[in-house]
Structure 1
Amino acid sequence: MSDGFDVVSESAIRDGTATDAYFLRTEETLRAADRNPHVVAEVTRDQFPTGEFDLLAGVKDAANLLSGLSIDADAMREGRLFDGGPVMRIEGDYLDFARFETSLLGFLSHQSGVATAALETRRAAPDSSVLSFGARHVHPAIAPMVERGALVGGLDGFSHVAAGEVLGREASGTMPHALVIAFGDQETAWEAFDEAVAPEVPRIAICDTYSDEKDESIRAAETLGDALDGVRLDTTSSRRGDFRHIVREVRWELDARGYEDVDIFVSGGLGPANLRELRELADGFGVGGYVSNADPLDFALDIVELDGEPVSKRGKLSGVKQAFRTPDGGHHVGLADRADPEGGEALLEPLIRDGEVVRDFDVDEAAERAREDAELVGFREEA
């Protein structure tokens, strides 16, 4: 048994051996035939608009993967919503990028799925603090990808420390049930945390370890007094009952005792529907599996032009295409050399020219772009 982790190295991704075997055999065959056509290839999910938008993320990693290759590439910006048609276009000699297709699609597909779920969550509680708590559900090697996708989708922060080091963000989170159990009683654990942890860390007490949420929240407030910033309810679903009623009850009892400034944070198996139900009562949420476990989007890469002539495999659309956002929030897909829709904004923009990345990446700008686009297109509006 190997002592190492089952992780593909960065060098394997960069040299293109993190790929499907048939791409290497394609290279071998084309080289043996002394053939290397000039192509345009497009990355798409759906060929035509379906009325269901998704959020694009992973472009930064995709650009880093393709950097240095003898290609040009255009792509939508991170944080743009799309509905059919290309999200990325690559032009070059096929053998210059063929082996990178597997990793390219993986970068785009997985983080876009995470970011789309994060945006759904953000839209469900637009005025609340929402943190990504789902790193424990994924392979630790990809935690930074998950947390970055969560940020692109508009979440306020995340819990994973190493991901924070990669992304240049400080991880959030205070105490688990294990801390209370390790001390044997709630008050001792809360007091020990307050004495040990840096003062800039919020005092958010976990309040459902051994007894009723209301009881523990009152005891936390009485134990820590003005030092207490909030309580967190992370009750397992098997014990939860009517969670909305529980949160209302906790809020009532804290207010009745003069603890109006103590916030209530809720976590534990939450999704957008839960946030909509609780957003008027809770001050913040920790969302785990709904974001981190999101299905990757089913992107594919297809050659659409061969040596200057439009081509496509069966079921795909030939010719170089462009996608547009129309002023009414619509998504239009058409051939790139035809007239633009009236007032349409072209969404595919230069990403790489002669192998050099010509775009900067800022996760906050991407999140703001996603917020604005979601408003314009009516992304996942409530029924």
Structure 2
Amino acid sequence: MSHPFGTVPPDAILAGTATDAYFERTRETLEYAGKNPHVVAEVTADQFPTGSFEVFSGVHDVATLLEGRNVDADALPDGQLFDGGPVMRIEGPYLEFAALETSLLGFLSQPSGFATAALEARLAAPDSQVLSFGARHVHPSIAATVERAALVAGLDGFSHVAAGELLGRVAGGTMPHALMFCFGEGNQDEAWRAFDEAVSEDVPRIALTDTFWDEVSESLLAAETLGDRLDGVRLDTTGSRRGDFRHIVREVRWELDARGFEDVDVFCSGGLDPAAIRSLRDVADGFGVGSHITDADAVDFSLDIVAVEGEPVSKRGKLSGVKEVYRTADGGHHVSLADGDPPTDGEALLEPLVRNGEIVREFDLEDASERCLTDAEAVGFDR
């Protein structure tokens, strides 16, 4: 069966054919030799803590992948921050999950990278509205993955309509430059007025005000055109024309206030990273963040067998034996053998995910977001 956009279908992922070829060769070899040992495997990025925390996400998809298979699995909760050691443990006959490794790591690596970058943006302006505008930079089939990761990290919303339908959230956003072009230079007021008359009342009236003229002129025109109905203006000035963006935002704010439009908010978008957000957070009311999230490096997770038939094993450079990770009251992240002594006041972080092929955990997006922000404060996340 052909797929019009060249995506791997869910059936292939669940069947284990969305895998690297050497796992197929491994299955053939083990079946030929009559071997299928009972193993424990762990998913890790770094073996030891490095002092650099990342956000764990994507575990709900892994639970779906493992459902109905003869395995047990434990994992960090969705949204938990980690720094070394296992984020997931899988136990069972190796061939039950061998071919799933490629998909399993993909389900974790990219969402965790997106969520970590989104958390950086969130904490750059903790008191401002921050929205995810990055879906246009990824394949449409994973847009919901981007937007969910952004919500896990505490962002206030996102722009992608279909992702909103999947996540049970309403997508946000008002108008692109294309709308302004369709009305033409000199007719900006007509565009904003038409938008106001056409679009549902529950959509904020945020006018894009940097299309043809300078930002101050268009912002004042928008305020005069819509009056009390205008909720805010958005500045999306391209980097090649931006100059001192902070000064531009302050100028817009000053001129709006000078004419009695103190209630009109100023939103900024267009290639913003955490450093830019921090420089603007005292003069702007909200931000749209795109490429900083979608350009994030995937977390380099690997899955390694650490015990075979109860005996510890490892490849060179990895740590043998079943391990546990702990969070201590001072925000420390600790790794030790699961049957060893935990650190003083350490809380074990791995929790049951799958038992005998049955998912034993519920997934709540709001809980994950609260967990992420609380844990970020506890560990002093600052990147």
Task: Report TM bin, short chain.
Answer: over 0.9
Helix, strand or coil: the match of 2:234?
strand
The answer to whether structure 1 residue 247 and structure 2 residue 242 are counterparts is: no
Structure 2 counterpart of 1:234: 236
Aligned with residue 316 of structure 1, among 315, 318, 335: 318
Partners of 1:178 and 1:10 lie apart in 2 by: 35
Partners of 2:136 and 2:336 lie apart in 1 by: 42
Partners of 2:165 and 2:181 lie apart in 1 by: 29
Provide, for residues 51-107 of structure 1, a one-character-per-residue CA deviation record: whole Å limited to 9, x for no partner.
Answer: 000000001111111111100000000111100000000000000000000000000
Partners of 1:4 and 1:247 lie apart in 2 by: 44
How many angstroms does 1:227 deviate by?
A: 0.7
Query: 4+ runs of 1 displaced by more than 2 Å?
Result: none
Helix, strand or coil: the match of 1:47?
coil
- Paired AA for residue 92 in structure 1: G
Helix, strand or coil: the match of 2:73?
strand
Structure 2 counterpart of 1:275: 277
How many angstroms does 1:6 deviate by?
A: 1.1
Alignment of 1:98-137 (within 5 A): 98-137=98-137
Provide, for residues 278-324 of structure 1, a one-character-per-residue CA deviation record: whole Å limited to 9, x for no partner.
Answer: 00111100000001221100000000000000000111000000000
Partners of 1:42 and 1:324 lie apart in 2 by: 15
Helix, strand or coil: the match of 2:36?
coil
How many angstroms does 1:155 deviate by?
A: 0.5
Number of residue pairs matched?
380
Partners of 1:146 and 1:134 lie apart in 2 by: 8
Partners of 2:353 and 2:118 lie apart in 1 by: 25
Give the conservation status (yes or no) of the 8 Å contact 1:81–1:370: yes
Helix, strand or coil: the match of 1:88?
strand
Partners of 2:3 and 2:79 lie apart in 1 by: 39
Aligned with residue 332 of structure 2, among 330, 333, 338: 330
Q: TM-score, normalised by structure 2?
A: 0.98
**Over aligned residue pairs, what C-alpha RMSD do you find?**
0.8
Structure 1 counterpart of 2:66: 66
Partners of 1:3 and 1:48 lie apart in 2 by: 42
Partners of 1:180 and 1:74 lie apart in 2 by: 52
Structure 2 counterpart of 1:172: 172
How many angstroms does 1:183 deviate by?
A: 1.0
- Paired AA for residue 271 in structure 1: D
Provide, for residues 13-33 of structure 1, a one-character-per-residue CA deviation record: whole Å limited to 9, x for no partner.
Answer: 111111101101100100000
Helix, strand or coil: the match of 2:293?
helix
Aligned with residue 194 of structure 1, among 193, 196, 213: 196
Partners of 1:274 and 1:56 lie apart in 2 by: 25
- Paired AA for residue 30 in structure 2: L
- Paired AA for residue 175 in structure 2: M
Alignment of 1:281-292 (within 5 A): 281-292=283-294
Structure 2 counterpart of 1:306: 308
Give the conservation status (yes or no) of the 8 Å contact 1:51–1:83: yes
Partners of 1:345 and 1:191 lie apart in 2 by: 57
Provide, for residues 129-182 of structure 1, a one-character-per-residue CA deviation record: whole Å limited to 9, x for no partner.
Answer: 000000000000000001001111111100000000111110000000100101
- Structure 2 stretches lacking a partner, 5+ long: none
Provide, for residues 227-283 of structure 1, a one-character-per-residue CA deviation record: whole Å limited to 9, x for no partner.
Answer: 100000000001100000000000000000000000000000001001100001111
Helix, strand or coil: the match of 1:339?
coil
The answer to whether structure 1 residue 218 and structure 2 residue 220 are counterparts is: yes
Give the conservation status (yes or no) of the 8 Å contact 1:271–1:290: yes
Structure 2 counterpart of 1:38: 38
How many angstroms does 1:3 deviate by?
A: 7.2
Helix, strand or coil: the match of 2:130?
strand
The answer to whether structure 1 residue 96 and structure 2 residue 92 are counterparts is: no
Structure 1 counterpart of 2:378: 376
Partners of 2:20 and 2:230 lie apart in 1 by: 53
- Paired AA for residue 374 in structure 1: A
- Paired AA for residue 72 in structure 1: D
Partners of 1:249 and 1:110 lie apart in 2 by: 39
Partners of 1:143 and 1:3 lie apart in 2 by: 18
Alignment of 1:123-162 (within 5 A): 123-162=123-162
- Paired AA for residue 19 in structure 1: T
- Structure 1 stretches lacking a partner, 5+ long: none
- Paired AA for residue 74 in structure 1: D
Helix, strand or coil: the match of 1:290?
helix
Structure 1 counterpart of 2:13: 13
Helix, strand or coil: the match of 2:353?
strand
Helix, strand or coil: the match of 2:261?
coil
Give the conservation status (yes or no) of the 8 Å contact 1:138–1:293: no
Partners of 2:22 and 2:92 lie apart in 1 by: 20
Partners of 2:65 and 2:143 lie apart in 1 by: 19
Structure 1 counterpart of 2:57: 57
Aligned with residue 261 of structure 1, among 232, 245, 263: 263
Structure 2 counterpart of 1:29: 29
Aligned with residue 360 of structure 1, among 342, 359, 362: 362
Q: TM-score, normalised by structure 1?
A: 0.98
Helix, strand or coil: the match of 1:323?
strand
Helix, strand or coil: the match of 1:89?
strand
